[in-house]
Amino acid sequence: MSDQDFRPLADRIRPDNLEDYLGQSHILGKDKPLRVAIESGKLHSMIFWGPPGTGKTTLARLISNYSQAQFLSVSAVLSGVKDIRAAIDRAHQFYDIYQKPSILFVDEVHRFNKSQQDAFLPFVEDGTVSFIGATTENPSFELNNALLSRCKTYVLKSIQVDEMVRLLQRALSNKQLGLGDRAVKIADDVLQLIALQADGDARRALNFLEISVDLAAEENGQLSVNENIVQEVTSQSLRRFDKGGDLFYEQISAMHKSVRGSNPDAALYWMCRMLDGGCDPIYLVRRVVRMASEDIGNADPRGLELALNAWHTYERLGSPEGELAIAQAVSYLACAPKSNAVYMAYKAAMQCAKDSGSMDVPMHIRNAPTSLMKDMGYGKDYRYAHDEEEAYAAGETYFPAEIGEQEFYHPVERGLEIKIKQKLDYLRSQNKK
């Protein structure tokens, strides 16, 4: 048995042509610019951005095959500037001997710091190498603008279930590169289960398949992979969820927007997706409290109370009982009347405070706890609202004189803010009088 036989199944069946490459039809479909460039052998520097197991490395190797270029691979996890220079030297040597280009593939490129990323620039600029970087993180945040400006970014998407099933079927049928001479019996619904549990990651799906075959019992000369085996193999697998990564913020954004959009079903779905992926429930409920103030506000003040109660309940009960209280708060907020009036008022007031600087508090609303301060005019002519009709000092001013009266809070015509708006309109009319 050769050493290559010990490679993982995902590596053994890696395709060597575009026809066998599954997924990413949005960038590799017929007449798509990237496909045309690959088939014509025209190289350009590029960034592949997508979740794990979506074919970034495979696509880079395919590009190398089609362009007959030397494939140089560097991992940002294990390599430094010294390794980059060594790869560049190999590219120079290859060109001097064969008069052919080289592709420098950098996996997890976002893990390189600024100086390491800068080390690529001269060689990308002068054409020594065509640079291909692979990243699971948003290049806009993780890569230097100088490097990004020299590369075309392609977004790779999660592998769909039907595509994943075809990949697994190909692995089963490829006796030379796949599972060897072993005859494997596996029903379509079991393949479907593996594809679903892989969560869009082709590498994970193939690993699940290989382990399942290794654990399968032989029946009538065949290895029989059933649902029980697959469930055992996949039972401890986690959903794709990278705390602090793009997917994390995409999902919390989806949950927040579902609440704001008054869709309790979608809000609960994204909440459960995050919990299923291992998100800390305390982080979730903190965001729920934020939603209560930002998107419901005074249209239904009970929303904030319910969110805080959910937080307290979770701390008292823990998981899984406490998560139900979070679900209750999420569904309530999604159904509650919406208002961002407080949120907008807060931002406007903060901007005004920053723009206006350190203006003095008007004398009439300053506190005067000592006789000296009273003699200086602190609190002079202050009108005590409770002594006025309707407990409102109509016409009184509370802003610094330099900026005059301001209106930041504009209640909406929903929920409790309907009544709040009516009251403020009345009080403001009294001020004008």
Of 388 and 330, the structure prediction assigns the larger pLDDT to 330
Instruction: Please report, to the nearest 10 degrees, the dihedral formed by the alpha carbons of residues 319, 325, 329, 335 taken in order.
Output: 110
Residue 5 confidence (pLDDT)? 56
| 32 pLDDT more than 80 | yes
pLDDT digit string, tens, across residues 47-94: 999 888 899 999 999 999 998 899 999 888 888 788 888 999 999 999
Say what the pLDDT of residue 172 is: 87
Tokens matching residue 330: 């999420």
Nearest CA among 200, 218, 207 for reference residue 179: 207
pLDDT in the model for residue 176: 63
Buried b (16+ CB within 10 A) or exposed e, 152-190: eebebebbebebbbbbbebbbeeeebbbeeeebbbeeeb
Which position has the higher pLDDT, 70 or 8? 70
pTM for the whole structure = 0.63
pLDDT at position 237? 58
Q: Own/partner pairs for 399-404, CB < 8 Å, 24+ apart?
A: 399/362, 400/356, 400/359, 400/360, 400/361, 400/362, 401/362, 402/356, 402/359, 403/352, 403/356, 403/359
pLDDT for the residue numbered 2: 46
- Locate 396 and state its tokens: 């009184």
Lowest-confidence pick of 72-81, 90-99, 299-308, 338-347: 72-81
* Two structure tokens written together for 81: 């500037």
Q: 191 exposed, middle or buried (CB, 10 Å; 0-12, 13-18, 19+)?
A: buried
- Work out the angle at residue 142's Cα, subtended by the Cα atoms of residues 245 and 34, and round it to the nearest 5 degrees: 100
The stretch 212-221 carries a mean pLDDT of 82
Whole-angstrom Cα distance, residue 204 to residue 225? 17
Residue whose C-alpha is closest to residue 95's, from 164, 173, 43, 148: 43
What's residue 180's pLDDT?
64
Mean pLDDT, the chain, rounded, equals 88
C-alpha–C-alpha distance, residues 368 and 378, integer Å: 5
CA distance 338 to 414: 7
- In sequence order, the β-bridge partners of residue 132 are 46, 105
Q: Can you tell me the mean pLDDT for 120-128? A: 86
CA pair distance 6, 74, nearest whole angstrom: 22
Question: Lowest-confidence range among 3-7, 55-59, 265-269?
Answer: 3-7
pLDDT digits (tens, 9 = 90+) for 352-402: 998 888 888 899 989 988 988 888 889 898 999 999 888 988 888 889 988
3-state secondary structure of 55: coil
Q: How confident is the model at residue 7 (pLDDT cuts 50, 70, 90)?
A: confident
CA 15 to each of CA 61, 67, 84, 103, 178: distance values in angstroms, whole numbers, following the listed order: 9, 16, 27, 18, 12
Q: What is the pLDDT of residue 278?
A: 77
Contacts of 83 (CB under 8 A, 6+ apart): 74
Q: How would residue 409 be classed by pLDDT, with cut points 50, 70 and 90?
A: very high
State the pLDDT at residue 141: 81
